[in-house]
Amino acid sequence: MVKISIVGTGYVGLVTGACFAEVGHQVVCVDNDQKKVAFLQGGGIPIYEPGLEELVKRNVTAGRLRFTDQIADGVAHAEVVFIAVPTPPKSDGSVDMTYVERVAREIAGAMTEYKIVVDKSTVPVKTGERVAQTIKRYNKNKCEVDVVSNPEFLREGCAVADLMQPDRVVIGVGGDRPVAKLKAIYEPFHAPIIVTDINSAELIKHACNSFLALKISYANALSVICEASGANIADVVHGMGLDKRIGRAFLNAGLGYGGSCFPKDISAFIHITQELGYDFRLLREVESINRDQAERFLKKIHDTLWIVKDKTLGVLGLAFKPNTDDMRLAPSLNIIRPLLKEGAKIKAFDPQAMEKAKEFLPDIEYCQDAYEAARNVDGLIICTEWDEFRTLDLEKLKNVMGHPTIFDGRNLYDPKLMNDLGFTYLSIGRRLSPAGQSG
């Protein structure tokens, strides 16, 4: 058992804290947002993440997990203090490191003995050096400290599973002293552990997210070629993915990547590499292909409906991906906002994200279910591939729609089946729709 504190109770901090407690460590989660801490202490969970609520409850009840708004409390408790605070983007694409720096100072000020301080937030390469310098400067009791980089690889929507069964654990250290303790933390997860220098660990994180985004943009670019040539993107990526050197994951063409990680991390990485003297043109193209996907999809809507002003369009799915209520940089926003601007009326349904969506899209109608969102519309747009949309009663859907035209941004249905059912069905990188437009 290791005594751990985690500063920051966002997605990463909260899920990590709960999973560490689950395998037997003693965990204190710290946040300076007193309201949030009170909510967590009262049994509330501020985010929707499958499995998280039960995990937190179980470990709080077992006495392995608690919450505090006092960083000194967290630092006093822990042998190892994790930093898991946000690193939001600045307007120029670089990373705002204010929170990491502040927490480093606060930890330093509260230290009375040797600590291992671990950065888990996604940060630019060389941040570890900065954190170590900051702690040294504000460490009034002159305690020994080791700074470690331990990037996280969890995905929203399956964060608990990703943390409990990680593909690997990356530990970046400046020397051997903290290694045994970090290994003790991760040993119960039975994953390969790789130990590197700090800069390499930090780079691994940005390199992974950028590469995954590159795969998505590659598939999206291929989808354009498929539409132009009459090929089928589903078959193409299936054929590619069976090659073990390529792999099928993250080759789903669609409306492009969104969320709080990829868009931010790719532009941060471009910025960091520029500072290091390299123009990462490949990643600039990844971003540009991603932007084009929304444009191309909007063009399909316009080509089909001609005028959207005063038309009613239904939307299925708002969250940036399924199994989350997160709306940050959701691709749905890149579709809905321009349509609203043009005077379309939007009715939408999302299984989890509607409360959070109201902040981003105050001027649309929110519906009880998918059929309500489709009722009497001029067209139905699918923005997020929630499983429950795959199993909709398509006959019923057609009957409630005023005009059975579907713009499927996530390729949920079989174009032939949709054709046979009498839909005008347009999707991404697949065969012709009955009206002869490219699907």
Catalytic residue IDs:
261
| Among 380, 417, 426, 422, CA closest to 401 | 380
Q: How far is the CB of 110 from ligand UGA (least distance, A)?
A: 27
Exposed/middle/buried for 295, CB within 10 Å: 0-12, 13-18, 19+?
Answer: exposed
Binding to ligand UGA by residue 411, rule CB under 6 A? no
State which of residues 128, 259, 314, 351 lies at the interface with ligand UGA (CB under 6 A). 259
Q: How far is the CB of 145 from ligand UGA (least distance, A)?
A: 26
CB-based contact 81:118 (threshold 8 Å): yes
Binding to ligand UGA by residue 360, rule CB under 6 A? no
Task: Compute the distance between CA of residue 383 and CA of residue 411 in angstroms, rounded to an integer.
Answer: 10
> In 3-state terms, what secondary structure has residue 37?
helix
State which of residues 20, 48, 82, 262 lies at the interface with ligand UGA (CB under 6 A). 262
> In 3-state terms, what secondary structure has residue 406?
strand
Terminal CA-to-CA distance of the chain, rounded, Å?
55
CA 232 → CA 364, 407, 408, 415, 429, distances in Å?
Answer: 34, 17, 15, 11, 6
Binding to ligand UGA by residue 408, rule CB under 6 A? no
Planar angle of CA 128, 31, 89, nearest 5 degrees: 55
Binding to ligand UGA by residue 122, rule CB under 6 A? yes
Q: Name which of 135 and 216 has its Cβ closer to ligand UGA.
A: 216
What residue type is 215 in one-letter code?
Answer: K
CB-based contact 351:391 (threshold 8 Å): no
- Given the rule CB under 6 A, which of 98-106, 186-194, 208-216, 334-342 is the region that contacts ligand UGA? 208-216
Q: Name which of 167 and 176 has its Cβ closer to ligand UGA.
A: 167
Binding to ligand UGA by residue 216, rule CB under 6 A? yes
Binding to ligand UGA by residue 84, rule CB under 6 A? no
Binding to ligand UGA by residue 318, rule CB under 6 A? no
Binding to ligand UGA by residue 270, rule CB under 6 A? no
State which of residues 48, 67, 186, 257 lies at the interface with ligand UGA (CB under 6 A). 257
Q: How far is the CB of 261 from ligand UGA (least distance, A)?
A: 3
Binding to ligand UGA by residue 320, rule CB under 6 A? yes
Q: Name which of 47 and 179 has its Cβ closer to ligand UGA.
A: 47
Binding to ligand UGA by residue 105, rule CB under 6 A? no
DSSP string, 156-201: TTSHHHHHHS-S-EEEE-SSSTTHHHHHHHHGGG---EEEE-HHHH
CB-based contact 49:11 (threshold 8 Å): yes
CB-based contact 30:6 (threshold 8 Å): yes
Q: Name which of 172 and 258 has its Cβ closer to ligand UGA.
A: 258
Q: Name which of 261 and 316 has its Cβ closer to ligand UGA.
A: 261
Q: How far is the CB of 318 from ligand UGA (least distance, A)?
A: 12
State which of residues 84, 164, 233, 261 lies at the interface with ligand UGA (CB under 6 A). 261
Q: Give the footprint of ligand UGA on this chain (CB under 6 A).
A: 122, 152-156, 209, 212, 216, 250-252, 254, 257-259, 261-262, 265, 320-321
